A and B are shown apart, each in its own frame.
Chain A
Amino acid sequence: MSSPVVHAHHAPQGFIRRWIFSLDHKVIGIQYYFLALFSVLIGMSLSLLMRYHMVHPDAKVAWFAKLWPTAAQGGIMTPELYLSLMTMHGTIMVFFVLTTAPQSGFGNYFLPIQIGAEDMAFPVLNMMSFWTTFLALVVMVAAFFVQGGPPLSGWTTYPPLSAIGPLAGPGEGLGQTLWIVSIAIFCGASLMGAINFIATLIDLRCQGMSLMRLPLTCWTWFVTAILGLLGFAVLLAAGVLLILDRSAGTSFFIPGGLLVSDQILNHKGGSPLLWQHLFWFFGHPEVYIAILPGMGVTSQVLSTFARKPIFGYRAMVYAILSIGFLGFLVWGHHMFMSGMSPYSAMAFSVLTMAIGVPSAIKTFNWIGTLWGAKIHFTTAMMFALGFVSLFVTGGLSGIFLGQPALDLYFHDTYFVVGHFHMIMGVAAIFGMFAGTFYWFPKMYGRMMNETLGKIHFYVTFVGVYCIFTPMHYLGIAGNPRRYSDFTNFDFLGKLLPVHSFMTQAAYGTAAIQILFFINLFWSMKYGKKAPINPWNATTLEWTVPSPPPFDNFGGVHPVVYHGPYEYSVPGAPRDFIMQTDPPDAANAE
C-alpha cells in the first residue's frame, strides 16, 4: 500500500544514508540525544570549573595555564575567564541540552510512533534541522578557540556590554560574534523542527487518534513546538539587530553618551531595554520549552508505573495549553528592575502569578495519579517522582520572584539562580533521565540496569537538593549572582562556607553521573533483552518491535480505540488496555 511518506518501502542502504544523513526520525532523534549528551558533558565541566573558582579564586592550577595561557596566566583563573565559562555554561545548557534532548531527541523519536505515523511529515527537513543544530554547536564551540575567547556577557547577552565590542572586555570581540552567529543558526534549526512537529501532529495522526486520545507527551511536544516557532523567530530578529550594532555602526540598542575604556562612542539613540524585551519575549517561552516535555514524560511514566490513568487528563491538557499561551505574556517578570514602566511590572506580575495556577494543577494531578495507585518503583518511575518533588521546590521560589515588591531585593541574587536551576537544571534533566530509562528498551531492544539506575538516582536526587537549595538561603542573604569571587565584600565572606558546601555537593553529584554513562553504553550492548512491552504500557510505541522497523508499523496503519492511560480498568482481563486493543477489550473475554 502506498503511504504518505516517500521512502517508506525502501530502507536506506549504506552507512552514510543510514546513520549520518538519515531521514529516519528515530535515527535523527538519537543523533539529537547524543548531541545533547555531548553538550551536557561540556556544560557540566564548565559548572565544576566555576564552582571551584568561586571557593578558590586565587588557586594556581597548572593545567589552567596550559589551556588558557592568556586568561589563566600562572594558572590563576581571571575574572574574565570565569565569566566566559559562565556564559558558555548557560548557553550550552539552555540551548544545546534543554532545547534539544527533550523535544528534538525524544520528541523526534517517539512523536510519530505515538500518533501512529510512519515518520515525521518532512523527513528531509528533519535531517536538515539536526545538521543545522550540529553546525550551530560547532560555531559555538569555536568561540572557545578564538582570540579573546568566549563572550563574557552571560547567556542573556545584554547590550551595551554585548554590543560595543572588545572595549567592553575580553571575549567581546570575535567570541561574542561567533556566539550570536551560532544562536542565529540554532534559531533556524529550531524553526525547521517546529514546522515538522506541528505539521506531523496535526496531519499524520492515525485513525482513531483524536486529540483527546493523545498521550500527554505528544501534547507537550506540540505546544513546545509552537512556543519554539514563535519565540525563536523573535530571537533571530534580536540577534540580527545586535550584529548590526556590533559591526555596522547602527544604534538599535546602544544609547548616546557612552565613555568606555576612555573612548567616547559614536552611537546614539538606542535602547538597551529593547534588547531585553525582545530577548525575554523569546526567553520566557524558552524555559517552558525546556520543561514542558519533561512534564509530558513525567505524566506518561507516572501513569504507567502507578497502573492508573493520569488524574484529570483534560485538565492536564488545558494546563499545557494555558502554560503555553500565558508563557508569551509574562516575559516582563525578568525585567522588573530594568527601568521599564512600573505599571507594566504590575501587569506582568499578575500574569506571572496566573501561570502558576496551571503548574499547580499539574502538580496536584500528578500526586492525584499516585493516590490509590499500585506503584512499581522502576528507575524511570523514581526519576518521574523526583521530577515532581523538584518541580514543587523550584516552582515555589517563583512565587517570591514573581512579585516585583520582593524582586526589589532578590533580582540578580542567588535566589534567582537557585530557582531556575531547580526547574531547568534539575527537574528538566530528571525528565530526560525518566525518558531515557523508560524508552531505552524500545530504542535498543535491551533493558538498562536497574541497580545502577537506582544508585544513580538516589545520589543525584539528594545531591541536587544539596547543590541548589542553599542558593535560596544565599539569595536571602543578598549574595549577588555572576560574581567570580566573594572576597571583596564583608557580607559575602560570611557566606563562603555555604559556597564550599555547594561545591562539594557538585563534585559528588557530577561524579555519580559516571554510573549513568556506564549504564547507558553498557546496556546498549549487554543489557538483558527487552520484550516488546516490558512495562505493560498502553501507548502505541509499545505495539511495535524494539527497536521499531524502518517505517515503524511495518506497513500497517494502526487504529486507535482507547485513550492513552487505560490502566486497571475494572473487568478487563489485564491491568492495562492498549490504545490499539479492540473497542470491547474492557470486557472480560
Chain B
Amino acid sequence: MPGSITSDVIKPPAPPRGGGFGGGGGGSDGRGASRRASMTGLMVLLAATTMAFAAFTSAFVVRRGMSNDWVALPLPRIVWANTAVLLASSILLELARRSLKTGRRTAFNRYWTAGTALGVLFLVGQALAWRQLNAAGIFVASNPSSSFFYLLTAAHGLHILGGLTALVYVDVQALRLRLGPGKRTAVDVSALFWHFVDGIWLFLMALFLIWG
C-alpha cells in the first residue's frame, strides 16, 4: 500500500558506515559518509577562510593604492626563519601521513609530534617578530603598512592556533595509542587545514615582499 508509513520503505543493503569524525565523539571506522562529510566541511571552511583573507587583501591593495603615506615596512628577519619552520612542519606532517598509510605507527608519532612542535615554534617566532618591530618603534598604528602587517599576521596566527589545536588533539590521541582507523579522517582534515594555512602564509609573504 503506497503511503507514508515507514514500513513501506524498502531497506537497501546497508553500505559500510561508521562513526568517524562527524560528530566530535568517538567513532568506529571512519569510512563512508562521515569521512566525506568531514572533507566537505573542511573545504567549506577553507572557502570561508579564503574569503576573509581576500577581504583583507583587497583592503590592503585599496589602501596602498590610494594614499601616498605608505611607508614600506622593513620585514623583521626572523620572519624568513618562521616561514622555513612552517614549511618544514607541513613537510613533517605529510611524512607522518605517509607513515600512517603504511602502518608505521612509531614513525607517524615522531613525525607528527615534530610537525606540531614546529608549528608552536612558528607562533613563537611570529611573536618575536612583533617584538622586533616594537623595538624598532613600529606599532600597529605607525603606518598603514605596519597596520596591515600586524593585522594579517594576527589573523593568520589565529588560524594557526586553531590548526594547532587539531594537531595537538591528534598528537595526544596518537601518543596514547588511541589513534584507531576511525580517527584517520581527523588526521587528514587537520593536516590539510594546516597545509592550507601554510599556503596562506606563503601568499602573505609574497604580499609583504612585493607590495608591502
Q: Spell out A's residues near B (CB within 8 Å).
A: 1-7, 23, 121-125, 191, 194-196, 198-200, 202-204, 207, 229-234, 236-238, 240-241, 244, 248-252, 268-271, 274, 277-278, 281, 532-533, 542-544, 553-554, 556-559, 573-574, 577-578, 580-582, 585, 589
Contact = CB atoms under 8 A, between A and B. Distances in A.
Contacts of B176: none
Contact of B141 (A231, A250, A585): A250
B17 A3 contact: yes
Nearest to B140: A248
B47 to A, nearest CB: 6
A269 B69 contact: yes
Contacts of B47: 229-230
Contacts of B28: 2
B51 A230 contact: yes
A123 B37 contact: no
Contacts of A4: 17-20, 22, 32-34, 37
Interface in B33-88: 33-34, 36-38, 40-41, 44-45, 47-56, 58-59, 62-63, 66-67, 69-70
B144 interface: yes
12 contacts: A6-B19, A194-B44, A194-B48, A231-B51, A250-B147, A252-B144, A269-B69, A559-B10, A577-B2, A582-B10, A585-B2, A589-B2
B178 to A, nearest CB: 16
B71 to A, nearest CB: 11
Nearest to A557: B12
Interface string B135-153: 0000011001001000100
B44 to A, nearest CB: 5
Contacts of A204: 33, 37
B10 to A, nearest CB: 5
Contacts of B32: 4
Contact of A233 (B2, B4, B52): B52
A388 to B, nearest CB: 28
A198 B6 contact: no
A23 B59 CA distance: 39
> Which interface class (under 10, 10 to 19, 20 to 34, 35 or more) fits B?
35 or more
B59 A7 contact: no
A244 B34 contact: no
A407 B52 CA distance: 31
Given A4-B22, A533-B4, A559-B10, A198 B144 contact: no
Nearest to A117: B33
A277 B47 CA distance: 20
Contacts, number: 189
Interface of B: 2-6, 8-12, 14, 17-20, 22-28, 32-34, 36-38, 40-41, 44-45, 47-56, 58-59, 62-63, 66-67, 69-70, 140-141, 144, 147, 151, 155
Contacts of B48: 191, 194-195, 229-230, 232-233
A202 B38 CA distance: 11
Contact of B12 (A2, A207, A249, A582): A207
Contacts of A195: 41, 44-45, 48
Nearest to B144: A269
A195 B25 CA distance: 18
B2 A581 contact: yes
A109 to B, nearest CB: 18
A252 B22 contact: no
B9 A238 contact: no
B74 to A, nearest CB: 19
**Considering the complex of A and B, which 3 residue pairs feature the smallest CB-CB distances, nearest first?**
A249-B141, A237-B55, A269-B67
A557 B12 CA distance: 8
B25 A249 contact: no
A122 B23 contact: yes
Given A543-B6, A553-B6, A580-B9, A6 B25 contact: yes
A230 B45 CA distance: 10
A578 to B, nearest CB: 6
A561 to B, nearest CB: 9
A122 B55 contact: no
A234 B52 CA distance: 5
Nearest to B36: A203
B37 A233 contact: no
Contacts of A577: 2
B2 A578 contact: yes
Nearest to B53: A237
Given A278-B55, A585-B2, A269 B63 contact: yes
A269 B71 CA distance: 12
Contacts of B144: 250-252, 269
A269 to B, nearest CB: 4
A229 B46 CA distance: 10
A10 B88 CA distance: 44
Contacts of B45: 191, 195
Contacts of A532: 4-5
A122 B12 contact: no
A577 B25 CA distance: 39
Contact of B51 (A6, A7, A234): A234
A486 B28 CA distance: 68
B44 A274 contact: no
A554 B10 CA distance: 14
Given A6-B26, A122-B23, A580 B140 contact: no
A204 B66 CA distance: 48
Contacts of B4: 532-533, 542-543, 578, 580
A557 B11 contact: yes
B63 A274 contact: yes
Contacts of B51: 229-231, 233-234
B9 A559 contact: yes
